[in-house]
Amino acid sequence: MDHVQEIVLLIVPLLLAIILHEVSHGWVAEKLGDPTARMLGRITLNPISHIDLLGTIILPGILLLTGSPFLFGWAKPVPVNFGNLRGGRRDMALVALSGPFSNFVLAVFSSIIFHLTFGGGTGHAGIWSRIIVPLHIMASLSVRINLVLMVINLLPIVPLDGGRIVVGLAPDHVAVAMARMERYGMLIVLVLIASGIWSYVVGPVISIFWRMLM
């Protein structure tokens, strides 16, 4: 398998994971009273509507070129007007939870494909081996990518989903204090990733889910 094929096998599940993550936010927000994402055309699987220069292209590209052991990225956040949500902060927590939950569902679905195609590379010739083997590899990568996105996004750091879940459920004084930290949130996340500290925090959790599914 050449380098171009390896990149394709990584990029396809990464794009699917981050796009479904954002679409889930918009879809749940619409069901709870906020049609903003639908009105702006963001409840779509068209990747052009979701591509973020840094999170979808530059960061994953750097991780690929540097041989990083993991792939991480994000799409443009789906706009949500929390003031339109019927349930207030509780519904904000549900909208936030929908993203990581979509990654969990996709990880489970990908693990099923992985097990169904196990051994697909032996005893099959021609087109079957050209389809089954890449699908098997892509399913494995999809499980890992979705577990990484799920667990990292559940970290209690605003603007990550975990932070918004805490803001939605915590007492007012805690929610206000966390909301004030939002401007530094992504910087904190990038520092955790770049320093390798994140692996000690989320690595064991990812390993637990990996053993369950794979």
**Active site (catalytic) residues:** 22
Tokens representing 94?
């549900």
Residue in this structure with the two tokens 């963001």, named with its chain if needed: 42
Residue 176 has a CB neighbour count (10 Å cut-off) of 11
* C-alpha distances in Å from residue 191, one per residue of 117, 147, 186, 188, 195: 38, 20, 9, 5, 6
Instruction: Write 124-132 long-range contacts (CB < 8 A, 24+).
Output: none
Pseudo-torsion of CA 203, 206, 211, 212, nearest 10°? Answer: 150
Q: Is 135 exposed, middle or buried (0-12, 13-18, 19+ CB in 10 A)?
A: middle
End-to-end CA distance of the chain: 23
Instruction: Look up residue 74 and give its two tokens.
Output: 């994000």
d(CA 86, CA 69): 42
Calpha distance 160→149 (Å, rounded): 10
